[in-house]
């Protein structure tokens, strides 16, 4: 399967690593928050992360010994170590070397507790995220493809083990769907089945609701996608997730457009532009690809001049796809 059309080019990996650390900590409610704070402080002080070479040299036995007074199980301390490092090296270091450095830590953690659900869950996400970085490299395409397949095999096996340990856990089902969604050898339809399972257990699981909508959009089920985006709670988009809400509003309008609901799409696009005109910092978070496509098509007269005005004011961030307007700007 080709790469997802919905999120291609979006840099979200740091969001995902941060999310994993925060959500999974809640699963271990008996661990006090100040213990995690103490561990985080220790990691920032003592763990080098300048390069993959420095990370390869980390002695996990030393880490466990030096953090022994922090009241967190050793496997969880190592998992947090891997997540801490993943935030920094996965997205800027060579692959698969970074993945191997991270996976070594997960394997060390699993020796303490091979039945820890969240170790398997995190290990799978780590392999998937590293594989996604590998996919962006153009050199040695055939070799990279084989390496990516190996990494995704590890990811899927880790997710399978987590499901065997907790078959009805919403987070585990969501992770499995996520792996299928971002794996080019699988399809959005396969991912959708896991999101649907998760939502049967928890109909309000925000991440599953969001990616369910992405799947519908990838499958070009436009009406279902637009309706699915409407089911995601706006209150979910806080903190490091705020950019996603601007993207969701644009996606929903675009899906209505593709569904043939022209008036509804126009109303939502115009509302979005008004939002950006009044709050330029929100436009900085926008992707603005779908709205430009709409402005180049049936909604040209009502959208194009307003988009161009925002663009000329420098309202959109540098990552905005300027090439979509370059021809008419010249």
Torsion angle of alpha carbons 288, 289, 293, 296, nearest 10°?
60
* Comparison of pLDDT for 20 and 164, the residue scoring more: 164
Name residue, tokens 């103490």.
38
- How confident is the model over 29-74, as pLDDT tens digits? 557 889 999 999 999 999 988 788 889 999 999 999 999 999 999 9
How far, in Å, CA of 233 to CA of 223, rounded?
18
How many residues in the chain? 330
- pLDDT tops 80 at residue 316: no
Name residue, tokens 């300027």.
322
Report DSSP state, residue 3. P
- pLDDT tops 70 at residue 20: no
Number of alpha helices (DSSP H) and beta strands (DSSP E) in the chain: 18, 0
How far, in Å, CA of 60 to CA of 79, rounded?
11
Percent of the chain, pLDDT > 70?
83
Residue 220 region by backbone torsions, left for phi larger than 0, else alpha for psi between -120 and 50, else beta: left
pLDDT at position 198 is: 98
Buried b (16+ CB within 10 A) or exposed e, 127-138: bbbbbbbbbeee
- pLDDT tops 90 at residue 163: yes
Nearest to 300 by CA among 277, 269, 321, 279: 269
Report DSSP state, residue 211. H
Structure tokens at 238: 């806080």
Nearest to 130 by CA among 60, 52, 206: 52
How far, in Å, CA of 92 to CA of 80, rounded?
20
pLDDT at position 143 is: 58
pLDDT band at 264 (very low <50, low <70, confident <90, very high): very high
Contacts of 93 (CB under 8 A, 6+ apart): 51, 52
Percent of the chain, pLDDT > 90?
63
Contacts of 107 (CB under 8 A, 6+ apart): none
The HSE-up count of residue 266 (CA atoms within 13 Å, CB side) is 12
How far, in Å, CA of 207 to CA of 198, rounded?
10
Nearest to 158 by CA among 129, 132, 144, 179: 179
Q: What is the largest CA-CA distance in the chain?
A: 66
pLDDT at position 164 is: 97
């Amino acid at each position: 399967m080709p790469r997802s059309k919905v999120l291609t080019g979006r840099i979200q990996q740091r969001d995902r690593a941060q999310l994993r650390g925060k959500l999974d900590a809640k699963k271990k409610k008996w661990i006090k928050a100040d213990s995690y704070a103490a561990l985080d402080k220790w990691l920032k002080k003592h763990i080098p992360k300048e390069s993959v070479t420095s990370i390869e040299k980390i002695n996990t036995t030393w880490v466990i010994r030096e953090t022994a007074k922090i009241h967190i199980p050793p496997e969880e301390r190592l998992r947090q170590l891997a997540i801490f490092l993943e935030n920094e090296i996965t997205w800027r270091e060579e692959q698969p070397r970074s993945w191997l450095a991270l996976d070594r830590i997960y394997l060390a953690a699993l020796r303490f507790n091979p039945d820890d659900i969240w170790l398997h869950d995190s290990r799978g996400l780590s392999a998937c995220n590293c594989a996604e970085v590998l996919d962006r490299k153009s050199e040695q395409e055939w070799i990279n493809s084989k390496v990516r397949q190996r990494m995704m095999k590890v990811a899927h096996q880790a997710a399978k083990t987590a499901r065997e340990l907790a078959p009805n856990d919403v987070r585990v089902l969501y992770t499995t769907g996520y792996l299928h969604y971002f794996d080019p050898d699988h399809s959005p339809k396969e991912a959708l089945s896991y999101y649907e399972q998760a939502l049967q257990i928890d109909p309000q699981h925000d991440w599953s609701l969001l990616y369910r909508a992405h799947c519908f959009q990838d499958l070009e089920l436009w009406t279902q996608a637009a309706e699915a985006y409407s089911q995601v709670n706006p209150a979910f988009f806080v903190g490091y997730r705020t950019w996603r809400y601007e993207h969701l509003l644009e996606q929903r309008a675009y899906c209505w457009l593709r569904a043939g609901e022209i008036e509804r799409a126009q109303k939502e696009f115009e509302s979005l532009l008004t939002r950006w005109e009044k709050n330029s910092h929100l436009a900085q978070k926008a992707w603005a690809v779908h709205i430009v496509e709409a402005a180049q098509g049936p909604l040209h007269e009502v959208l194009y001049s307003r988009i161009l005005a925002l663009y000329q004011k420098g309202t959109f961030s540098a990552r905005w796809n300027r090439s979509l307007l370059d021809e008419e700007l010249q």
